[in-house]
Amino acid sequence: MTIVPVLIEDWQYECCGDPFKIGDRVTWQLCYFNELGELLSPAERARLSLGVEAIPDSEDAHLSSGELHAFWRHPSTGDGLVEITGVLYEEHHDVHPVPKTTGTVKRIRRLAMRHRCEDGNVWYREPGTETFTELWESDLEPDAPAEAEQARWGIGMLVDLEVSLR
């Protein structure tokens, strides 16, 4: 069994996420996008060796190993094996032609990070500034930021999901 970190963004969970707690078996549609890797420090990113298979009539691919399946938009490699480093995340809104992943929730952490304001009123996440709060069950109640931390707010939960890779 392997522990895989999965990001569940606030807006996805608030819209149509189902509550879960440590020890629950869950079935989620997972996606992998290279550009989301910078959201987390290297220690928190997924590092996996997975099979990659092109999705017919598409520029996208299916990543898989055992129980783990993820959609990969515009992969940087063809069919075969690939080493990925980055973020897997749960997707509720787009339907992708890959099987869902079933695993056991082993850890839940509320994720917050600093944001910086640029271009007037556009806020950007600052990679490497993440902080975590341990949770027993899913919860996205926003914490009121301290006055000195007005630019820090929650972006979701980082869930350690145990899956079989073979």
Question: What residue spans define the domains of the chain?
Answer: 2-106, 109-159
Average pLDDT, the chain: 85
For β-strands 88-90 and 80-86, DSSP reports them as: unpaired
- Mean pLDDT value across residues 53-68: 93
For the entire predicted model, the pTM comes to 0.86
Tell me the CA distances in angstroms from 111 to 14, 41, 63, 84, 135, one per residue in order: 15, 12, 25, 22, 10
| pLDDT 10s digits, 74-133 | 887 778 999 988 889 998 877 788 999 999 999 999 988 888 878 777 778 787 888 899
Confidence of residue 43 (pLDDT cuts 50, 70, 90): confident
